A and B are shown apart, each in its own frame.
Chain A
Amino acid sequence: MISRRKRAPQRRSGNGRHPLAKAPTGIPGLDEITNGGLPRGRPTLVCGGAGCGKTLLAMEFLVRGALEYGEPGVFMSFEETEADLVENARSLGFPLKRLASRRRLLLDHVRLERTELTEAGEYDLEGLFIRLGHAIDSIHAKRVVLDTIELLFSGLSDRLTVRAELARLFRWLKTKRVTAIVTGERDGDHLTRHGLEEYVSDCVIVLDQRVMEQSATRRLRILKYRGSAHGGNEMPFLIDDHGVSVLPITSLGLVHQVSTAHVSTGVAGLDAMFAKKGYFRGNSVLASGTAGTGKSSVAAHFAEATCRRGERCLYFAFEESASQIARNMRSIGVDLEPWIRRDLLRVHAQRPTALGLEAHLVAMHRVIEEYQPRVVVVDPVTNMIAVGSETEVKAMLARLIDFMKLRQITALFTSLTEGGRAAERTDLGVSSLMDVWMLLGNQEANGERNRTIQVVKARGMAHSNQVREFVMTDAGIKLVDVSRRVDGSVAIGSARGAEQRQGPARDPKPSRGGRRKGE
């Protein structure tokens, strides 16, 4: 969904009688939520507060139009000079100068300073019409941006004339058959300071930037799209060094294929707990536990097993660097280095606080698209909570999971639960999104700490209901045979040893009493 360069399909409009012609923006996500782009040959209003990204979104619309859809564009700026526009676009990698020299783009800064003008009698804006018309004709432009035309109101004192001329301008733009973006500044409760929305009847997009929990998040909403189905939800969007990306909230719904093929967990004893074969391919797996319960080790085993099959594994590390992970895992006999060298394992290490939540999601999508892994590990997913509220994190995870399911990527998320809190409760928000949930724990008894693992849920699969003990050996994680006391409780650690010395151990095989859940 984040891929660029893909031509958005020109879909038919809701009533199906007249196909509503659309001009793809080329902006990832935006063409999806608008079902193909902006209304072709008509003006669209993009409004929002200062610094919300209106200018960049509009500029990207022109740049992608010129680069990808063969549609030259005119950018008429009432605010920033040509030099400023070139400079600002450079940070997004938009080659404005090159496009301008090839006549694919024309920048025109309209300066209108009230202090430099004397008004002496009646006037109109025919000069602007001629200027814009000439610009359009000279490069055969198909796209136009007017940013921010409302500044005409501060440059000229005759508001009635300006209003009348703007109405004429919007009618005239339609006759020029250009697809236009007109930006407007939001003012309190009003969409735009001077009511531009009265003139633009086809499509209105609202941008918004707000700071939540120290990180700025941007939101985009299609307020109005005449003749076209559109989601009225607020979508997070992002401006980074690739331009604008809009993140639709699970645009794919729940239509992904489910697989019945299994993939090994990398731990023989653990496979046994999942119908002897491991996770389903395409599953989302949560491994949660307090600090030091072996979550990363479970993840490393899974990663290694993936590479052994010759499949690519992408490991998002939010706490440790690649070399740190490799070193730590070598101590339990899992050597990841060779796989990294062969590029079957790629570790993507980044501190979550370095980016906002949406930035993270987009960065992850991008790496996944580029590397095309079969397995993704996110270690730990809880570090993301540090950058967003719980509902935001959940929404973001839902998007990430959908994105991966669509690609049949099996994903393992580790989750750090805080000591002293009920693990099952703290994980609840995230766990409902997961197909498989394993709980790792430490049991303290008889002066020792012993590691345990249990499967809390595994959708559509018979799974063990036992709490199992496991140990870290220099040959990796080993699940230890179950030793049940006479009273039915499970003996672990040295108590197990004592039990085993005293009497025969019970059936070490996992019980098959797990719940079978429908899909």
Chain B
Amino acid sequence: MKNGARRTWHLRLYVAGQTPKSIAALANLKRLCEEHLAGRYRIEIVDLQKQPQLARRDEIVVIPTLVRQLPPPIRKIIGDLSNQQKVLVALDVLPGEPEA
């Protein structure tokens, strides 16, 4: 990684109220970030029940949807993020990546 530790991860999680899948997704995401991106991530939660107009603007169909806003390019991951390995690969967070 060229920019090394300076690279921050901006992750946006779309949910619809406090459903079990939404709660699970947030918990899974937090755990994953703490394990692999500690200090280098920011999670934004968008509740479509409160902001329904964002579903169209951000092209959301499936709940939960995780969008990697940064670093580019934008990546979309759907589901409750229980399959951690898939999430890591999709987010391009290589497990065991050296912190340096």
Contacts and interface: CB of A to CB of B under 8 A. Distances in A.
Interface of A: 108, 110-112, 116-128, 130-131, 133-135, 138, 152, 155-156
B77 A127 contact: no
A110 B65 CA distance: 15
Nearest to A161: B62
A118 B63 contact: no
B59 to A, nearest CB: 6
Contacts of A156: 62, 78
10 contacts: A108-B56, A118-B75, A120-B86, A121-B25, A121-B81, A123-B62, A123-B63, A123-B78, A127-B55, A134-B52
Nearest to A112: B61
Contacts of A108: 56
B19 interface: yes
A106 to B, nearest CB: 9
Contact of A131 (B56, B80, B89): B56
Contacts of A134: 52-53, 55-56
A117 B77 contact: yes
Nearest to B28: A121
Nearest to B17: A126
A9 B48 CA distance: 41
A122 B82 contact: yes
A130 B19 CA distance: 14
Interface string B65-95: 1000000000111111111101101100000
A123 B84 CA distance: 15
B14 interface: yes
B79 A123 contact: yes
A120 B77 contact: yes
Given A127-B16, A130-B48, A130-B52, A122 B79 contact: yes
Contact of B86 (A110, A119, A130, A133): A119
Contact of B61 (A121, A131, A133): A131
A43 B57 CA distance: 26
Contacts of B43: none
Given A118-B75, A119-B78, A120-B78, A125 B61 contact: yes
Contacts of A131: 52, 55-56, 60-61
A139 to B, nearest CB: 13
Contacts of B49: 130
B23 interface: no
Interface centre among B14, B53, B61, B83 (most CB of A within 10 A): B61
A121 B86 CA distance: 9
Nearest to B49: A130
B28 to A, nearest CB: 7
Grouping DSSP codes into helix (H, G, I), strand (E, B) and loop, the B interface class, with mixed when no group exceeds half, is mixed
B21 interface: yes
A120 B87 contact: yes
A85 to B, nearest CB: 15
B33 to A, nearest CB: 14
Nearest to A133: B52
B53 A125 contact: no
Interface centre among B78, B81, B86 (most CB of A within 10 A): B78
Contacts of A112: 61
A513 B77 CA distance: 90
Contact of A126 (B16, B76, B80, B90): B16
Contact of A130 (B16, B75, B76, B78): B16
Contacts of B87: 118, 120
A110 B58 CA distance: 10
Contacts of B14: 127
B82 A120 contact: yes
A111 B55 CA distance: 12
A133 B52 CA distance: 8
Contacts of B16: 126-127, 130
Contacts of B59: 110-111
A124 B83 contact: no
Interface centre among B48, B62, B82 (most CB of A within 10 A): B62
Contact of A120 (B19, B52, B63, B79): B79
A519 B1 CA distance: 93
A155 B52 CA distance: 22
B63 A126 contact: yes
Contacts of A128: 55, 61-62
Contact of B55 (A118, A124, A130, A155): A130
Given A117-B76, A130-B55, A135-B56, A125 B62 contact: yes
A112 to B, nearest CB: 6
A118 B56 contact: no
Contact of A118 (B21, B52, B61, B90): B90
Nearest to B87: A120
Contacts of A111: 59
Contacts of B77: 117-120
A413 to B, nearest CB: 56
A138 B24 CA distance: 31
Contacts of A133: 52
Contacts of A118: 75-78, 86-87, 89-90
Contact of A127 (B24, B53, B63, B90): B63
Given A112-B61, A118-B75, A134-B53, A123 B80 contact: yes
Contact of A117 (B55, B56, B78, B82): B78
A464 B61 CA distance: 77
B37 to A, nearest CB: 16
Given A108-B56, A126-B63, A131-B60, 12 more contacts: A110-B59, A117-B62, A118-B76, A120-B82, A120-B84, A121-B79, A122-B80, A123-B62, A126-B48, A127-B60, A128-B55, A131-B56
